[in-house]
């Protein structure tokens, strides 16, 4: 298993120039896999990784056997609303009311001034933890506190990693280097598996992906699924790669 850090995140040094979008990171990871001697492999990602993992397949289509992401594909936009069924439209309206779509617009904040926020994050562990806890609270569909879903030590470890490596600010640079927000689109260079489709719609996801794995009964609720449901996620990931290896 190869677990690289995105440039500027945690154990990976900050880049020295702008332009490190998901496609460029994916090309770097494909090169990494070549140098490590892996000829056939799968990619997996959640959150930002849900954008990068499909790009690795585009960068190395002859080597990637499958792409597995936790969620994010097939989420309807306003343009899709007219063709939604009544049930799908109700789910879309519920999505529009979720905390993580109506809370603090962190994408906009980080596009505007990530370095300004970085001084507070790195000067004060309390400020850093306050920011993180707010994100952990917003990024869940469950009506529970973050520490009721995810072990408190995992939350503290996650925050500490950013703080000790001074990468709170540099991990925000991809936002600064972007012009807006968009859901992951995916790819058709390799088969795709998704842990949980909701709130995405499979037929919409299949416009840009060759979906071969889309279970509807996996447990979960938090955006950071590997922290919330590690055993279920590992089992489902194995089930997907058994289909495509």
pLDDT digits (tens, 9 = 90+) for 208-245: 999 999 999 998 777 888 998 999 999 999 999 999 98
- Mean pLDDT score across all residues of the chain: 90
**What pLDDT sits at residue 102?**
66
CATH number of 22-244: 3.40.50.1820
Instruction: From 207, 173, 213, 174, select the one nearest 191 (Cα to Cα).
Output: 213
Q: Map tokens 């490590």 to a residue.
A: 36
Going by C-alpha positions, the residue among 103, 92, 94, 89 that lies closest to residue 131 is 103
pLDDT at 223: 81
Q: What's residue 237's pLDDT?
A: 97
Q: Kindly list the domain boundaries of the chain, sorted by start residue.
A: 22-244
69: β partners: 45, 194
Q: In angstroms, rounded to a whole number, what is the distance separating the alpha carbons of residues 32 and 36?
A: 6
Element housing 118 (H / E)? helix 114-123
Could you give the angle at which helices 114-123 and 152-164 cross, rounded to 10 degrees?
A: 110
Take residue 160 and report the two structure tokens written for it: 């500490």
Q: What is the pLDDT of residue 41?
A: 98
- What pairs with residue 43 in β-bridges? 67
């Amino acid at each position: 298993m190869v677990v690289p850090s995105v440039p500027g995140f945690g154990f990976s040094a900050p880049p020295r120039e702008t332009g490190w979008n998901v496609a460029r990171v994916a090309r770097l990871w494909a090169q990494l896999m070549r140098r490590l001697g892996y000829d056939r492999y799968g990619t997996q990602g959640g959150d930002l990784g849900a954008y990068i993992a499909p790009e690795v397949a585009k960068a190395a289509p002859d080597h990637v056997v499958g792409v597995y992401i936790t969620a994010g594909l097939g989420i309807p936009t306003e343009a899709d609303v007219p063709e939604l069924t009544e049930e799908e439209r109700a789910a879309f309206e519920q999505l529009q009311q979720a905390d993580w779509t109506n809370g603090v617009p962190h994408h906009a904040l980080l596009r505007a001034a990530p370095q300004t926020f970085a001084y507070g994050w790195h000067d004060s562990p309390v400020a850093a933890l306050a920011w993180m806890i707010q994100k952990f609270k917003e990024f869940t569909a469950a009506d529970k506190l973050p520490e009721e879903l995810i072990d408190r030590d995992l939350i503290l470890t996650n925050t500490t990693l950013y703080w000790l490596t001074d990468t709170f600010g540099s991990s925000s640079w991809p936002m600064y280097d972007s012009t807006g927000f968009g859901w992951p689109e995916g790819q058709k260079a390799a088969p795709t598996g998704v842990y949980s489709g909701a709130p995405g719609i499979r037929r919409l996801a299949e416009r840009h992906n060759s979906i071969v794995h889309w279970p509807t009964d996996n447990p979960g609720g938090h955006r950071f699924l590997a922290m919330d449901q590690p055993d279920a996620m590992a089992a489902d990931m194995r089930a997907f790669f058994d289909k495509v290896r």
